[in-house]
Structure 1
Amino acid sequence: MKRGKNATIIGCSDLFERFTRHIAKDKGLSPGSIHRYKGCLSHVRRSLDVDADLVDQRRAGNFASILRETVSDRTAKEYLWLLESCWNWAKDKYRLADSNPWQGLAAKIRPHSTQKVKPFTEGEVIEILEAFKSDRHYRHYYPMVCFLFGSGCRFGEAAALQWKHLSQGFSTAWIGETISRGHHRRTTKTGKAREVVLSPGLAGLLAQVYDRRSPKPDDLVFPAPHGGSMSDQLFRKRAWKTILDRLGIDYRKPYSTRHTAVSHALANGANPLMVATQAGHNPAILYKSYASVIENRSIFVEFS
């Protein structure tokens, strides 16, 4: 590939670092996003050690192939999107060629079909809750795990919950924020707030916790054992995996508590639209993902 006229000579890794600093300054980056940018940069340094204006479709395609051999399809797509954005940003600034060699590469990746994660059975849920409640090391997490199974909330949403977000009597919870990697607070995944109606049993548990702690309105409902926000990674690696291993239950990520809550609600005859609203699900996606769980019954009135 010929160099563009008056092109700036800059290496790919140097270009991507400048792009990252630009995005961080212009839009701000969450810890999770920073992790993705750093991950992409490490692969660029290893496998794309050329000047940016020399990257053509062949080089970009080869790099995409290397990515697919070393990271998941989802991560490969994310990295290729970042590189496409980087080259679009740098086109005029560094006089790169008008055609973007990364354009369309992410769309060509078709993730392999994966087996759907099974929800926990009612018996497994009871076992898990009892194990957390009785364990001297991990009983601190018991109210949090009860809330996850009983509300269908995402882990970060539960971790961000403050006492001021609960109604008087603890019958409802306002879900409008999430915490990423234990400290970065932002809006929910969908960008929308919602109200979740809590069961009497869950409301009673929260009332007990409140009476025991006498917290302030801004205090976290489910703090980490030593204070501060709870980290999903630490919880998963230490408490969650340990409990499941001990019980001999097939491992599923903590996110499966949400899948379990939604699946059992639908199987129990709950209105799918109400479930979607309270779980913060897109109704169309819920119908597609849980079609086999939704009870198939006539909706028409029988006149005879």
Structure 2
Amino acid sequence: MGPLILLTKRLLSVQGANAWKKLTGACFFLGGLAMPSAGQAATGPLPADSAYTVQVIRNVRYAPQPDSMKTDTSSDRLLDLYLPAVKGKLPVLVFVHGGGFSGGDKRQVTSLCTKIASRGIAVLSVNYRLFLKHHKIPGASASANMAAGLPAAGAFNPALQHAVEVASEDAQLVFRWIGSHAREYAFNKRKVAISGGSAGAMTSLYTAYASRQKVLPVGAVVNLWGGLPDAGVIEKNAPPLLTFHGDKDKLINVAYAYALDKQMKQLGNVSELHVMEGKGHAAYKEIELHYVPEVAAFVMKHLK
């Protein structure tokens, strides 16, 4: 059975006109050079020259529209689904975009999400409330708090911290949506990881290690140039962490990556750190070109 037929069957298994709407509104991508059989299960990372066909469904609502941000779609609670043509239940990666809690949009990581999904992982790229976009507060930007290194007091400006917590609240609503739609999209709700870049990474780290959320367990974290104000909040048996950070990052100092890695390893937790030589902030293209197989392998390994 071909990949497009499998995707059609997956969609039409959802009852009624809603399934046909999703089918006709979906986009399809080839995420690599060679495609394995559509019936092949995603039991591990694929060879570097292989990929599953990926179906993309845009602007799925995961929670009610925020009353205060109705005219701003980038602050709305919408997600894009990247679904590989894989038989059986799918591991899930929630991806939170960056933008300093004042900008950015889920579509800016389309290429990266497609490539990760082509390795056999369902990727959910999410928009969320951008608190600092709608509340201009001096001294609250990520660069003002993080460019020079770790905060001496172990805390961010209160407005920045609040922006992180607001974004994390929406990430937890995404977890709730995954749980309630697991059967519809063949999600394995016991195998959920979270990732993001910059502000999205800060949100992911806070959600996994500091929020104490109980919606779904986080199985792994992929941190792209983010940080926590105090890595000491991480506890023993915390979810495994994979970090990428440029040593020339002028917005979020690489000291945040070292602090996370040190705390994780001191507690006996799993942590892998890649400090990218000569790279600055938001090195998405570097991840796309060189590290997608490693990201996928890490997620697959730790979502047991």
Q: Same fold (TM over 0.5)?
A: no
The structure number with the bigger radius of gyration is 1
TM-score for both structures, normalised by structure 1: 0.23
Per residue, is there more strand in 1 or in 2? 2
Per residue, is there more helix in 1 or in 2? 1
